[in-house]
Structure 1
Amino acid sequence: MTTQQGLRARKKQQTREQISDRATELFLERGFDKVTIADVAAAADVAKMTVTNYFPRKEDLALDLGEVFVEQLAAVVRDRAPGQSALAALRADYLAAVAAQSQMIGFSGEPFARMITDSPALVARLREFHDERQLALARVLGEVTGAAPDDITPRVAAAQLVGVQRVLFEEILRRTLDGQSGDEIASAMAEYARIAFDALEPGLGGYAVR
């Protein structure tokens, strides 16, 4: 990449972050459904078309890590260590995320969590992200196990692995809305994660070992 290309890429990233940051401030202040694209453009000092070029859907202004969220589990499985199963890799990654109180598993703070749950559009978009990450994980599981196209096993495994993550995500959201601190939630979720992943061990403990 040339210096000019690098500068252009950084400028685009800065613009994207500026738009997302201003949008989040407005959403938290007024509520997601009461803010328009024009409001966001004015706050970020850009044209409406610039906003929609970076964020084709308004919901993605609030959930701007959606693409990373969708691909996260697939990436963990793809990069798992030799001798490690998909389940073991995802368990280790999840526990590390709990310790870090990561946004990727639902740690967002009460105002942001309430902004999401107060908006049917954001709740629906979040549901789509969970569905999309399940499809992404199923594709990778099929690739790494050499499964035939008509083999249902990768899809069944992905449904179980993402289902557990989804239940845990919703539990973090519930506790956040109840006013629990990040440390309180993390302490509870470490134990909940053990229970959840242990429940999958009999069926998936030896599946997709690298």
Structure 2
Amino acid sequence: MAEGLRERKKRQVKQRISDMATALFLEHGFEAVTIAAVAEVADVSVNTVYNYFPAKEDLLFDREDEVVERPSRLVRERGEGVPAVRAVLDRLRQDVAERNPYAGMDPGYARFMQVIQESPTLMARLLRMQGQIVDRLATTLREETGAAADDPTPEFIAHQLVGMQNAVHRNIARCHATGGTPEQLSAELLRQIDVMESLLSESVLNYAVKNTP
């Protein structure tokens, strides 16, 4: 269904508020910025901000649903004969090689993570998101493999995958802080992903191969 004019305008207003709030957070820190300040720079009322973003941290994590769902979507959409773990790792490599914002390859990512780490509220939200990603991915893996309810394997695999993603993102922030060209950053991160993959057993790497329907 095509997006209507009203829906498009609401989406644009929401995105503008989030973008301006994020700019303020990056400049001043999360705790120092008030909702009133966000409303002022976005040229909307405080009530409008709360209508779109019930919690202040929602302004920074405006793509939370998309981020939480992404690994599960990659697993569901993997090609025939592709194991679940390789589908996620291959996409992570592609994101890094293409310097996709999903991989935190933007030079501003280090400051973005610094803002989160300086705020207990944002850190709590980030940890909750990571838990949701694991839960969602474990559910998807269970559905894809038909694993029994008492089989812990889907959850163990989900924890490993999300842990690897988190490790890459932390290293991206460190690499940004130390400088270097985008090409050097990509090369180093791809090397690190290769190292992580080499530490996984074949049973993990070949888990949940997608069969022909």
TM over 0.5: yes
Question: How far apart are residue 180 of structure 1 and its match?
Answer: 4.2
Q: What are the residue-to-residue correspondences of 1:126-205 with 2, within 5 Å? A: 126-205=126-205
Residue by residue over 1:102-154, the C-alpha shift from the partner in whole angstroms, topping out at 9 and shown as x without a partner, is: 23223342432332233232222222221111111001001100112222111
Selected match of 1:100 from 85, 93, 98? 98
Selected match of 1:21 from 19, 22, 31? 19
Using the TM superposition, name which of 16-25 and 49-58 deviates more. Answer: 49-58
Please tell me the residue identity of whatever aligns with 1:23.
A
Please tell me the residue identity of whatever aligns with 2:208.
A
Please tell me the residue identity of whatever aligns with 1:164.
M
Selected match of 1:75 from 73, 76, 79? 73
Counterpart position of 2:6 = 8
RMSD: 1.8
Structure 1 runs not aligned, ≥5 long? none
Please tell me the residue identity of whatever aligns with 2:119.
S
Is 1:45 matched up with 2:43? yes
CA distance in 1: counterparts of 2:182 and 2:68, whole angstroms: 23
Please tell me the residue identity of whatever aligns with 1:199.
L
CA distance in 2: counterparts of 1:194 and 1:138, whole angstroms: 23
Work out whether residues 33 and 119 of structure 1, in 8 Å CA contact, stay in contact via their aligned partners in 2. yes
Question: How far apart are residue 182 of structure 1 and its match?
Answer: 3.4
Question: How far apart are residue 201 of structure 1 and its match?
Answer: 4.1
CA distance in 1: counterparts of 2:137 and 2:72, whole angstroms: 5
- Counting matched residue pairs gives 208
User: 3-state DSSP class of the match of 1:32?
Assistant: coil
CA distance in 2: counterparts of 1:125 and 1:180, whole angstroms: 31
Question: How far apart are residue 181 of structure 1 and its match?
Answer: 4.3
Structure 2 runs not aligned, ≥5 long? none
User: 3-state DSSP class of the match of 2:22?
Assistant: helix
Relative to its length, the structure with more helix (as a share) is: 1
Using the TM superposition, name which of 133-142 and 180-189 deviates more. Answer: 180-189
Inter-CA distance 55–197: structure 2 relative to 1 (3 Å threshold): farther
Is 1:116 matched up with 2:83? no
Question: How far apart are residue 27 of structure 1 and its match?
Answer: 1.1
Question: How far apart are residue 80 of structure 1 and its match?
Answer: 0.4
Residue by residue over 1:58-102, the C-alpha shift from the partner in whole angstroms, topping out at 9 and shown as x without a partner, is: 122122222211111000001000010001111110111101222
CA distance in 2: counterparts of 1:187 and 1:208, whole angstroms: 29
Counterpart position of 2:62 = 64
Question: How far apart are residue 155 of structure 1 and its match?
Answer: 0.6
Question: How far apart are residue 202 of structure 1 and its match?
Answer: 2.0
